[in-house]
Amino acid sequence: MPLLFQKKINRHIKHVYNTLPIEDWNNSISEPYCFYYNWCDQVYDIEFSDCLTDEQLNFLQVNPNIKLIYDFNGEPIESSTIEEIVFLFEKWKLNPRQLIITVSNKLQKEFIEKRFNNNNIIVVEYNYDIKHMKLSENKTQIDNKKFSVLCRLHRPWRSYMLCRLKEQNLLDNFHYSFMGCENDMTDAVNKSVEQQLDITEILATGNWKIINDPSRILNDLTTVCNYELSNEVIEFIELCPHYIEKENFKSDAETPNELFASDLHLVIENGFFDLEESKYNTRSVEMGEKTWKAIITSKPFLIYSDAGYLKNLKRLDFKTFSPMINEQYDDETDPKIRAELIIKEIERINALPLDQYTDLLKNCQEAVQHNYKRYIEIKTNTPEFTDIEFNNL
């Protein structure tokens, strides 16, 4: 099995599918070796319940100084996921102190520690995105627009937002990307293994497949979002992918020039995927690269994600933009209503007279500057993943 996320692994940390033969470890058992499981392994049908071979499990049982790292890779966390992890550790008869969970921010750390404080779980805060997010070089002059929005992968409510912006004739005021795709990283993963390259570097060069399936997107919009499709929306979907910077915009770490050439940014974050997934009170916040892009390019933003996302940003000492921007959408738990509230606010901003629009942007600058300084503060104080001495925890 390939080493999917080499970017986070040093020679002391072994992916669960890249550790055999274990016999080779016997002479170096004093070194701080760890088994490593990444949340994204599930995308490749590697469930945590099946991640260890019998030999590996036995090795952990007889060597309590060896750790197993469960890395959430910046994804949202639900109570049920942690419950499964704890249950399996008990089933495997492992010492709870052999389990290390890595999360991306202090809210996720608090989320686990408060709900599972009797389970002796070690939780380490590490944020790869904020540590390695980078600005693009300005290569060409691009006409300025009021808004920008980036949406690469298809998820029903992400696609719904883009389609509604199109339907309301608002995308003319946006720099936008909408690839409307799922990413098949088979080629990139194989190349990563064969050449021992970081898979994130490969993806940044564009060596991946794009699966464009308009019928699936249209079906999801109809069945999940209960969206009555217009001919305009159907044509918009069938023309996917809609690129920013053509096919060069592939990497999560990239910040396209078009963000600099816009006044405000609409962030479409991870989170809810369907109407049934509304456990907003039992999920921890993920602050992904999508939000960081708005912050490091110093843009006021609106964010389409789980209800309460803006409140969680404030708990992380960031500022949002009320009353200049109406943020009542953050309280709405229904994803369709929340999307429509955001679209209504974009329409209002777009229709402002020039003097009022200029004042809005001016009045957002204090929060914009605060957020950038807060980003630099966190980035500076975030240790490298490989600097963490796991076996000393």
Tokens of 376: 């630099």
Q: Which of 300, 337, 351, 333 is nearest to 161 (CA)?
A: 337
Looking at residue 43, what is its pLDDT? 57
CA 25 to CA 20: how far, in whole Å? 9
Q: Tens digits of per-residue pLDDT, 67-125?
A: 888 888 777 788 888 899 999 999 999 988 888 898 888 899 998 988 887 778 889 88
Q: For the whole model, what pTM was predicted?
A: 0.85
Tokens of 333: 């738990």
Looking at residue 304, what is its pLDDT? 95
User: Could you give the percent of the chain with pLDDT greater than 90?
Assistant: 38
Structural domain boundaries of the chain?
6-126, 145-184+210-375
Measured CA distances, 100 to 6, 111, 312 (Å): 18, 15, 24
pLDDT range class, residue 153, cuts 50, 70, 90: confident
pLDDT range class, residue 42, cuts 50, 70, 90: low
Tokens of 48: 């945590």
Asked if residue 46 has pLDDT above 80, the reply is no
pLDDT range class, residue 342, cuts 50, 70, 90: very high
Question: Residue 40's CB: how many other CB atoms inside 10 A?
Answer: 16
Q: Tens digits of per-residue pLDDT, 258-316?
A: 888 999 999 998 766 544 444 444 577 778 888 999 999 999 999 999 888 999 999 99
DSSP E strands, 80-144: 99-103, 122-125
User: What is the 8-class DSSP label of residue 390?
Assistant: G
Tokens of 97: 């102190």
Measured CA distances, 187 to 191, 193, 199, 210 (Å): 6, 10, 10, 11
**Residues forming a β-bridge with 13:** 34
pLDDT range class, residue 5, cuts 50, 70, 90: very low
Q: Which CATH class is domain 145-184+210-375?
A: alpha beta
Cα torsion angle, 87, 88, 94, 98, sign? negative
pLDDT range class, residue 183, cuts 50, 70, 90: low
Place of tokens 């969206």: 227
Which of 147-156, 337-346, 382-391 has the lowest average pLDDT?
Answer: 382-391
